[in-house]
Amino acid sequence: MHGIILRWKVENKDHHCLLRDYLRNVKEISRQALTAVKQHGELRVNDEEVTVRALLHEGDEVTVVFPPEERSDGMEGRQIPLSIVYEDEHILVINKQPNLPTIPSIYHPNRSLANGVLYYYDVNNIPSTFHAVNRLDRDTSGLLIVAKHRYAHDLFSRQQKLGKVKRTYLAVVHNIMERIDGTINAPIGRKEDSIIEREVRKDGQEAVTNFKVIRYLKKETVVRLILETGRTHQIRVHMASIGHPLLGDDLYGGSIEKISRQALHSWKLQFFHPFLQRELNFSVEPPEDMNKLINEL
């Protein structure tokens, strides 16, 4: 049994390149993934098995057979409803429901998006494990990317670190915002004496959030937010730091009177698909509880 198989034709610019350099520098296969291929997969040039020291020529066909995906101990598939917006052999784009963690935790060991995806893989005979490219908090709804194999995860994660995975959120925040748009550039770190809570602090990691008012309600504001970085609880911490905590976010000063979870939704997702070599765009409307909140207010 093997994992995914990928093939490429060597171009003129890579003529006389070593296979090792071609895979590492041109195809951006990580050192760890390439080691796994050497140990448990296969490398071929023109259907002949070779080592990473093989010399390539223009027109050669390079084949990489990745080893099977290995699941972590205790990671089991569970039948959890999934809203799959897009799927190909490399990724899933999922509209995550609220009140569902992305990965298992000590509080939710068997009910997470990861468990649901593994069940989906098992039912559809997809030999893969769970690779989240981006994560959403348990109570945040909306779009996220799941890679089907470690190579796709490496490529998409690299894009995300370079800011090329564009994520747009919708939130309902307390109070009427005076500024129509702006940027919050404030470092975020873990709050002392807390495992979960974060705060703006000088010694934190760089965090940048762009906001724009979409709609004014009676005493609240609907805001569009675009992240330039991806820190834990970034939107929640940043909005609370300027006096506009999210409705339902009692961890950071929001009220749960009108909604029982933070009113935050991953609304739009835009990225370049490295395997298809084209830009993809997705958007999903907020779930019923957020729509009802906005309409009632």
pLDDT of residue 1: 59
Looking at the DSSP bridge assignments, the partners of residue 266 are: 142, 169
Distance CA 279, CA 40 (A): 33
Q: Tell me the CATH class for 4-66.
A: alpha beta
Q: How many CB atoms lie within 10 A of CB 176?
A: 13
Residue 273 in this model has a pLDDT that exceeds 70: yes
Residue 76, token pair as written in the block: 């089991």
pTM value > 0.85: yes
Distance CA 28, CA 21 (A): 9
Residue 122 in this model has a pLDDT that exceeds 80: yes
Residue 63 in this model has a pLDDT that exceeds 90: yes
Q: Average pLDDT for residues 42-66, to the nearest whole number?
A: 94
Residue 297 in this model has a pLDDT that exceeds 80: no
Q: Average pLDDT for residues 238-242, to the nearest whole number?
A: 97
Distance CA 250, CA 211 (A): 21
Q: Average pLDDT for residues 272-291, to the nearest whole number?
A: 94
The answer to whether the Cα torsion of 67, 127, 133, 100 is positive or negative is negative
Query: pLDDT confidence of 62, banded at 50, 70, 90?
Result: very high
**Inter-residue contact 156 to 165 (CB < 8 Å):** yes
pLDDT of residue 269: 96
CATH 3.10.290 in the chain is located at 4-66
Amino acid at 267: W
In terms of Cβ atoms closer than 10 Å to its own Cβ (0-12, 13-18, 19+), residue 203 is exposed
Q: Give domain 167-266's CATH number out of 2.30.300.10, 3.40.190.10, 3.30.2350.10, 3.40.50.460.
A: 3.30.2350.10
Distance CA 186, CA 255 (A): 24
| Nearest alpha-carbon partner for 269 in 128, 159, 129, 137 | 159
The one catalytic residue in 14, 60, 122, 137 is 137
Active site residue 21: no
Cite the beta strand spans of 14-70 per DSSP E. 42-45, 48-49, 61-65
**Inter-residue contact 131 to 114 (CB < 8 Å):** no
Distance CA 127, CA 143 (A): 23
